[in-house]
Structure 1
Amino acid sequence: MALPSSITTKNLSGRFTLNKTLSDTNAFDAILIHESIGWIKRKAFAIGTVTLTFKHYTDKDGVEHFDIDNHLTGGIPGTQERRPVDSVERERSDMHFGPQLFYTKRRAPNDVEGLSEFLKGNWTEDTLENGLLETDVKSDTAKSRTSWLERHVWGIEEVQGERRFTRHIEFEGPKGQRLDTIMYFDYLGA
């Protein structure tokens, strides 16, 4: 389902599922290989459905947050992401990707300075006016003994005549492998 106009980068609360028809699942699988995700889990991701439940809010100190619950079909346990939007690098670990370091920040309205052409995307006007969301996730090399980096830019794009939540991802693997992919999501409602 297309996003209603009320869903913007200033209000992403709701449920979303990965659209495998629009998304390049082969590129996503290649990224998982370079992140040392095993064959069985990769096949389960490929067959199953990934659903994200976003809770988007501002805390009493004025810090914006994304609490994201990832649900997977097929009996694979999901993960929880707690993302303060404050540019501070934090540690996290989960059963799929191991120890990681990440930060999330909001880019100022219309600020695409320093982004590659791929990450600049074809964002909707309201996305550019409200600001893009940028998050870097990388392996915690000291703990994981591997090295990879994902740079995400999140926003809303019009795809085939419908507004969609998208994530543009630039990936660099442990041996310098470079992959770009876009994840397109269907909106499931509040």
Structure 2
Amino acid sequence: MAAPASKTVTNLNGTWVLNKTLSDPTDPALSLQGVGWLLRKGISAATVTIVVKQYPDPETSTTTIDIDQSASGVTSTKELRRLDWNSREHKDFLFGRVHGRSKYITLSELKALISPEGEARKEKWVENDFLAEDWLETDGEEGKLVLSHVVADAGWFATQVWGFQDVGGERRYVRNVVVAKEDTFVNFKMIYDFVSE
């Protein structure tokens, strides 16, 4: 189901389900991240649901995004993202220990970050402009997107940009994702159906 107009990058609250028909396969990225074949097959068959709670931290006013993610019959994880670009450790059974940071970013800032002269290209998070493709530039407050970057102890990077795109004539919540390890890059889109507030 398309995202209602009330859903923006500053209000992702609600329940969303990954639309596997519209999304790209995640198996190549999970393989690069060291997830075993059997578990990858279970994830590919599962219904992936995320429940998002987005709110300002009462002490700092920094936006916090809490995500409960479940893959039916396989696993569930909880992620806490504070949009202040400070690195925080997270550990789960699927990916092991990672260090992640997140922030709001404009499309022009994103393009500079992933340009040939930008940090993301120089540090080999990305190999091209995929993260900046297809966004509805006027969507959300001041054209904001969410940037999330993770460095894993296992030696891979995962960089995501969240926002809204036109998919088949419908406005959809989308994550453009790049998983990188050494000189290998996997680019893919995760496209979500809105379920409920």
TM-score (norm 1): 0.90
CA distance in 2, matches of 1:137, 1:114: 15
Q: Deviations along 1:99-128, whole A, 9 cap, x unmatched?
A: 001000111475332235211122121147
Q: What letter corresponds to residue 172 of structure 2 in structure 1?
A: R
Q: Which residue of 1 aligns with 2:133?
A: 121
Q: Which residue of 1 aligns with 2:180?
A: 172
CA distance in 2, matches of 1:121, 1:102: 23
Residue 136 (structure 2) pairs with residue 138 (structure 1): no
CA distance in 2, matches of 1:23, 1:122: 14
Q: Which residue of 1 aligns with 2:81?
A: 83
Candidates 185, 192, 197, aligned match of 1:185:
192
C-alpha contact (below 8 Å) 2:107/2:144 kept by paired residues: yes
CA distance in 1, matches of 2:131, 2:90: 24
Q: Which residue of 1 aligns with 2:155?
A: 147
C-alpha contact (below 8 Å) 1:67/1:82 kept by paired residues: yes
Shift of 1:7: 0.1
Sequence identity percentage: 34
Q: Deviations along 1:141-184, whole A, 9 cap, x unmatched?
A: xxxxx2000111110111111111111011212x4211111111
- Over the aligned positions, Cα root-mean-square deviation in angstroms equals 1.5
Residue 68 (structure 2) pairs with residue 69 (structure 1): yes
CA distance in 2, matches of 1:179, 1:63: 31
CA distance in 2, matches of 1:31, 1:56: 27
Q: Which residue of 1 aligns with 2:102?
A: 104
- Gaps of at least 5 residues in structure 1 are 141-145
CA distance in 2, matches of 1:176, 1:108: 27
Q: Which residue of 2 aligns with 1:51?
A: 49
Q: Which residue of 2 aligns with 1:8?
A: 8
CA distance in 2, matches of 1:128, 1:84: 18
Change (3 A) 1:126 1:78: same
- Gaps of at least 5 residues in structure 2 are 115-127
Shift of 1:130: 3.6
Q: What letter corresponds to residue 98 of structure 1 in structure 2?
A: G
SS at structure 2 position matched to 1:111: helix
CA distance in 1, matches of 2:24, 2:78: 24
C-alpha contact (below 8 Å) 1:66/1:83 kept by paired residues: yes
Q: What letter corresponds to residue 162 of structure 1 in structure 2?
A: E
SS at structure 1 position matched to 2:109: coil
C-alpha contact (below 8 Å) 1:110/1:129 kept by paired residues: no
TM-score (norm 2): 0.87
SS at structure 1 position matched to 2:40: helix
